[in-house]
Chain A
Amino acid sequence: MQTSFTRRQGAPNTMLIVDDDELNRDILSMIFEAEHAILQAENGQQGLDLLAEHEAEVCAILLDVMMPVMDGMTMLEHLAERHVPERIPVFLITGESDSEVIKQAYDLGVMDVISKPITPPIVLRRVNSVMELFAARNHLADVVAEQTEELREQNQQLQNLNMGMIEALATATEFRSGESGEHVRRIHDITRLLLEETPLREQFSKEEIRQIALAAILHDVGKISVPDAILNKPARLTPEEFATMQRHTVSGDEMLTQIPQLKGLPFYDYARLIARHHHERWDGKGYPDGLAGDDIPIYAQIVGVADVYDALVSQRIYKPPFEHMDAVDMIVNGRCGTFNPLLMQYFRDIAPAIRDLYARGAHTHTPAQTETR
């Protein structure tokens, strides 16, 4: 017999008929056997057993109510418990006229109740309409799942591109200062160590830590606006030049504000605050805003420490490199400005891990000078 819908390749196509009466099973089989494989069960228990074995193939369940061993309502309760009627349409085909039973069956998730004695063309129509609905719904769900996966991949590509652009921007800044780009990578790593390996981790989620570490690499992005003559001056800066140099903090904040595409990214606020405040000091003697204590965002404080440490142990155009322990002591003793005492404690705790980080990575070598910028 002709049906009104075409089955999708690989979709389930077996009708499970559960009725104690052979006559009814035969009539129902006859109606559907042209288009479907048929499974027959004589009672609810057999029906559940067959379903357990063939669930992936079953496209509909035709269920009688009055049966020995396990009746239709009991089988339906078992099905409802496992949410089967949400995936496979269940039809009650019954001589039952008790409206309470029928109502209960609908409550348990049957899609339609067809009364006996049945009229084949009507059964065919009603069952096929519902199966068509389920097939369309499953198809739609598949399409949505496919599209979701595509979107997820595109989103991942965009994120990778974002990361690439951000790293490119940070590296470009470093190159202008005559450094290799390793500096920003190390700042990223130290920032993450300080957030992950100390009690600071309790204040941030894993994702926030990831975003802060990423934001850290843009801390010096404002140096793009500092003239080469000042940035790479192989001599002590004049007070006026030093003031220009210090402007890189505010410039960095402003630059980030002017890239509208960055505003939607989760690291945007971190990046702005880090760029602006990573030269602030705990005692308020830093720049550009002279913030003190907890007014300085903790992540800007962390990047501030990481930045000073990296500057100390690296050779710079204006100074020679210091040994790891000397650098740690200088920072903790306030030789490079005052830092948050608690942060100093954490910094000392993870100093060995930081040293290991540098032992693995390459150092940069540029002509030496003295001064802190």
Chain B
Amino acid sequence: MDATRKERLKAAGINVDGALERFMGNAGMLERYFGRFLEEKSYAALAAAVAADDAAAAAAAVHTLKSVCGSIGCDHMQALALAQEAKMRAGDWPGAKAMMPELQEEYDRVCAVLRG
């Protein structure tokens, strides 16, 4: 991870320093997990579950998504996932469902930043 990439990720709101601390300074490992995030299925599972009105599957998927985002420093995405999980737990399924466009937009943005 060169300085330019690091700055670009930071500028895009990725908490690189926090993530690096978590990976004990191992930038190579962090990059590997950025790569895995792009292939990771929890967002796809969440979108599918919400589309199918499967609340239980959606709750499990958003929980995983939240955890992964938090670990790799995608703080805003993590906050959105946390908010959606809270709505699901509170039984506010319509409210949780209504958050999907916002989650989709942030997911696409994060993926683009990580790929770039």
Contacts and interface: CB of A to CB of B under 8 A. Distances in A.
A66 B60 contact: yes
Interface in B26-75: 26, 29, 33, 36, 60, 63-64, 66-68, 70-72
A21 B22 contact: no
A118 B60 contact: no
A116 B67 contact: yes
Contacts of B67: 21, 23-24, 95, 116-117
B2 interface: no
A101 to B, nearest CB: 11
B77 to A, nearest CB: 12
B22 A119 contact: yes
Nearest to A117: B70
A23 B33 contact: yes
Taking residues whose C-beta sits less than 8 angstroms from the other chain, chain B's interface range is 20 to 34
A20 interface: yes
A68 interface: yes
A3 to B, nearest CB: 14
A24 B42 CA distance: 15
Contacts of B66: 95
A234 B33 CA distance: 108
A117 B71 contact: yes
Interface in B91-112: none
Contact of A30 (B23, B36, B63): B23
B21 A21 contact: no
Given A23-B71, A117-B71, A31 B64 contact: no
A235 B11 CA distance: 123
A164 interface: no
Contacts of A31: 24
Interface of B is mostly: helix
Contacts, number: 48
Given A95-B70, A117-B71, A20 B64 contact: yes
A263 B71 CA distance: 72
A367 interface: no
A120 interface: yes
Given A23-B71, A116-B70, A117-B70, A95 B63 contact: yes
A104 B82 CA distance: 22
Interface in A33-60: none
A117 B81 CA distance: 13
A100 to B, nearest CB: 12
A120 B24 contact: yes
Interface in A181-230: none
Nearest to B42: A21
A120 B21 contact: yes
B22 A118 contact: yes
A30 B29 CA distance: 11
Which 5 A-B pairs have CB atoms at the shortest separation, nearest pair first? A117-B70, A117-B71, A66-B63, A95-B67, A120-B24
6 contacts: A21-B64, A21-B68, A26-B29, A27-B71, A95-B70, A119-B22
Given A21-B68, A30-B29, A95-B66, 10 more contacts: A1-B24, A20-B64, A21-B71, A23-B36, A98-B89, A116-B70, A117-B67, A117-B78, A118-B22, A119-B22
